[in-house]
Structures are given as C-alpha cells and as structure tokens.
Amino acid sequence: MGLRAFEEQYIRLDKPASCLHTSANMLLAQADPDHSTLLLLFAAIAALYVAGRLAINALAGGERQSAGRRAIGQWIPIAATTLAAVLMKHPEMVASLVIGTSIACLSMALGMAILLAPMTDQTRRHSVWAFVCPAAIVVMMAGFKGELVWWHGIVFLLLGASILAVWHQKPSTSSITDAGVSNSASRSLDSTAIIILLISLAFAGVGAWLAVRQTPIAGMNSRWMSTGMLASLILSPLLALPTFVTITHVAQRGDSNGAISSLVGTVLLNLCLLLPLAIFIQFGLTAFGARAQADGNALAALGTLGQALPYPAAVWRLDTIILITLGFLLIPVSMGRWLIGASTALCLSLGYMFYLVINFVLLIRH
C-alpha cells in the first residue's frame, strides 16, 4: 500500500462512517460539535435574548407602547448578530439570518399572535403590512445571481424610505388610531430607559460576537451541520425568541393589530435596512482591504475591488419564496378583505416547524 492510500484509509478524519478503521472517538468528533462550543453558543443565545428583552422594555415599555419601537427592540439582537457576521468575515451567514428570522416572525410568531388574539371585523389594519411581499420580491430578484452588490443596497434603502413614509402616515378619521403610529410613540425615552437600552446593546454585542465566533467552529466540528445550516436552522429561530415572548404578551392584551404591526416592522427592518447595511459593510471591508494591498491609490478602483455579499442558492430557492408567500397573505389582510382565522394561524405555526425540517433535509442533500 502506497503512502497516499495509507493516509486516505487510516489518517483522514472525514472518511465515511462505514469505514471499519474509524474509531468511536473519531466518529464522535466529526459528528458532534465540541461541548465547550455548544455551551458558548447557548451563552451567546442567552445574552442575545436578554438584549432583546431589555431593548423592548426600554423602547416600548410602560407608557411608551408602540409597534414601531417594539419592532426595533425585537430587531436589535438580529441586527447585532448579522452585522457581527459581516465584520467577522462570515458573510455566508447573513442571508440565512435575515431571511430565516423574517420567516420566523411571519409564521410562528404571527400564528401565535392570532391564536391568542383572534382577528375580528373591528381589528384595525395598517397598509404597511402589504409591503412585505414586494420587498421580498425585490430581494429575490436582486439575489438571482447568488450575490448582492452595492447598488442593490441602495434600492433596498429607497424602498425602505418609501415604506417609512407609509408607516408614519396618519390613519383616516373613520378608523381608530393605529397602534403602530399611536400617540405614545412620541413619548421620549427617560434616563432609565436609555441606560437599559445601552445595557441591552452591550449584551447584544457580546452575544453576537460569541454566536458568530462559535457557529463556524460548530460547523467545522459537525459532520452534518455547516455554518450556513446552523445560521438558518439554529440561530434564526433562537434569535426570534424575544419576539415570540413579546408577541405573546401583546396578544394576551387583545392587541392583534399591534402584534402584527411589530412583526411586520421587524421584517421590513431586516429587508430594507439590515440587508443593505450588511451589503455596504461587506463592500467597504473588502474594497479597502484589497486597495491597501494594491499598488494603485485611485479611489475609482474601489468599485472593482469590493466583493458582493453572497446569497446562497438554498436560501434563494426556498427561504425567499416562503417569505414572499407569507407576505402575499398579508396583502388582503391589510386591505380588510380577509381575516386570518384560528385554523390559518395554527397552520402558520405548525408550518414553521415543517419548514425547518424541509430546510434541514434539503441542506443535507445539497
């Protein structure tokens, strides 16, 4: 037996499990992440959960009840983790986190909200709910080639600016004031709320750093779970945990409109603000890093040196389509043409579980 054949048969750790010369310890090492890595991941998720709960309490607690501020509080852990992924040079996680958490908000969280606070003919609607579908379609079209470039970020920001104008549009006099633009939203933050918000940002930063640092390590140590898969199937639903808890409390007060508006707000922040920020940061880091190593000093060369943000095919062909479908369901709801009933809400919640299973199977086969 030659040296190369010997190495492939006895030394390689990535050979199939059926190989008779693979020890039990080797199999365990390649099948499961290290225990310390899992503990650090759990610590990261705990820190991000605390960050989300503190941010929501600081921005929308007490007399500051507002769907918009609640959406920002829910969004902070997601934004922190996504931006940390770009800054720590793991851009392959971005699309999975942005789209995955958006799906969690509009399926599991939305279904829970409707089950706890059923919609009626008197439930107030907001026209901004209808913008999730076109925003998701724009993202799908932009990611057709498997990457997002700087001008895609500009398009997302322009779309977000137009949606923001609709969000702050005053409701008609014939309807009750929308919870998403209620008078309580104009209340400024007091010193205590600002301190709590700063603490939440600190927790978010530490948790995001830990999560992004340990996820690739877990992916390398696991035989089945890659970094992108961990971001899509593990991090995304866990980052939405503060949203699940908050929406449950809001729905228990019977405010289904406020619950839906805050969920839609978080999704729109993901698509129209977080995604372009990640694109610009990725472009800037790679462009200036490449320019520092280049001989020329022309700023005009930056446009050719910057790298696009990757948009994995698995996210494009499944996750984005699901997000478009969920956004499409909100169009007749926002127009008052359809009410989401208990059966539909239950299907949304159970469908999210089914989505995770299907996503796992497709990623394994891929």
> Would you kindly state where each structural domain of the chain is located, as residue ranges?
33-170+178-289+299-365
Exposure string of 169-201, with b = 16+ CB inside 10 Å and e = fewer, is: eebeeeeeebbbbbeebeeeeeeebeebbeebb
Q: Which amino acid is at 11?
A: I
Tokens, residue 141:
């079209």
Q: How confident is the model at residue 200 (pLDDT cuts 50, 70, 90)?
A: very high
In whole angstroms, what is the distance from residue 36 CA to residue 332 CA? Answer: 48
Residue-wise pLDDT tens digits, 140-158: 999 998 899 999 999 999 9
pLDDT for res 266: 95
Taking each helix axis from N to C end, the angle separating 320-334 and 132-142, rounded to the nearest 10 degrees, works out to 160
- Residue pLDDT, tens place only, 73-103: 999 999 999 999 999 999 989 999 999 999 9
Q: What is the CATH number of domain 33-170+178-289+299-365?
A: 1.20.1420.30
The residues, ordered by sequence, that sit 6+ positions from 197 with a Cβ below 8 Å of its Cβ are 54, 55, 58, 59, 189
Mean pLDDT rounded to a whole number for the chain: 80
Which stretches of the chain are assigned E, i.e. beta strand?
A: 147-148, 309-310
- Which of these ranges, 5-9, 150-154, 227-231, 268-272, has the smallest mean pLDDT? 5-9
Of 73, 85, 29, nearest in space to 49 by CA: 73
Is the model more confident about 195 or about 14? 195
